[in-house]
Amino acid sequence: MSQKNDRAKEQILKMSGVNPLKCMRCGKCSGTCPSYDEMEYHPHQFVYMVETGEIDKLMQSPSIYKCLSCFACVDRCPRGVEPAKLVEAVRLTVIRQKGMNHMTADSIPALLDDDLPQQAIVSAMRKYSK
């Protein structure tokens, strides 16, 4: 594991409050994830790859924008690992970097229709940009 990855791992564990060592590799998170098909790396892989320090791969993957934050993996995990918090921590690590916003205010007007609630836009900005 490189030193850079070591730091990134430490940062992600701190931010998320997750201890990946609690995972018993049952796969219930990935069994329950509604966005599984849209993801390159799946919830159980987030747990495993953060533990092994493969943070770069996760940071470069579009998977981090596919999580719905529905917390089904968090509630159904028998060991209380909370994979969704790891996904969020990796995503924040990316978008907090300069120029790395996944969505900017410029792209909002194109999204709007008559019904789209403000809540969706506010949430999207929270999840996809800093």
Partner 1 sequence: MKRIGVFVCHCGTNIAGTVDVKAVAEAMKHEPGVVFSTDYQYMCSQAGQEMIKAAVKEHRLDGIVVCSCSPRMHEATFRKTAAAAGLNSYMVEIANIREQCSWVHKEMPIGTEKAIILAKAAVAKVSLNAPLTPGESPVTKRALVIGGGIAGIQTALDIADAGFPVDIVETKPTIGGKMAQLDKTFPTLDCAACILTPKMVDVAQNEKIRIFSYSEVTDVKGFVGNFDVTIKRKARYVNETLCTGCGACTEKCPMKKVPNEFNLGMDNRHAVYIPFAQAVPKVATIDPNHCLMLKSGKCGLCSKVCGAGAIDYKAKDEFLEERYGAIVVATGFNPISMEKFDEFAYAQSKDVITSLELERLMNAAGPTGGTLLRPSDHQHPHTIVFVQCVGSRCEACAEKGKEYCSKICCMYTAKHAMLIRDKYPDTDVYVFYIDVRTPGKNFDEFYRRAVEEYGVHYIKGMVGKVTPENGVLKVQGSDLIDNRQLHIDADLVVLAAAIEPDKSARPLATMLTASMDTNDFFTEAHPKLRPVESPTAGVFLSGTCQGPKDIPETVSQAGAAASKVIGLLCKDKLLGNPCVAHSDEMMCNGCSTCEKVCPYGAITYEDKEFRMPDRTTKVRRVAKVNEAVCQGCGACTVACMSGAMDLKGFMNKQIMAEVDAICK
Partner 2 sequence: MKVSYFPGCTLRTKAKELDFYARKCLEKLDVEPIEPDNWQCCGGVFVSAKDEIASKLSSVRALKSAKEAGMPLVTVCSACHNVIKQTNYCMQNDADFANKVNLYMAQDGGEFTPYNGETEVLHFLELLRDKVGFDKVKAAVVKPLTGRKIAAYYGCLLLRPNKVMAFDNPENPTIMEDFIRALGAEPVVYAMRNECCGGYVVTDDPESSAKKSAAVTENAMNAGADTVMTACPLCKYNLSKNGGAPVVYFTELMAEAFGLKEEQHVTEE
Residues binding partner 2 (CB under 8 A): 14-17, 34-35, 38, 65-66, 68-72, 74-75, 82, 84-85, 88-89, 92, 102-103, 111, 115-128
Using CA atoms in the order 20, 25, 29, 31, what is the torsion angle rounded to 10 degrees? 170
Residue 66: name its binding partner from partner 1, partner 2, none (Cβ under 5 to 8 Å by kind): partner 2
Residue 128: name its binding partner from partner 2, partner 1, none (Cβ under 5 to 8 Å by kind): partner 2
User: Residue 85 and residue 19: Cα distance in Å, rounded?
Assistant: 11
Contact between 36 and partner 1 per CB under 8 A: yes
User: Residue 42 and residue 35: Cα distance in Å, rounded?
Assistant: 9
Site for partner 1 in 42-101 (CB under 8 A): 42, 44-45, 72, 76, 78-80
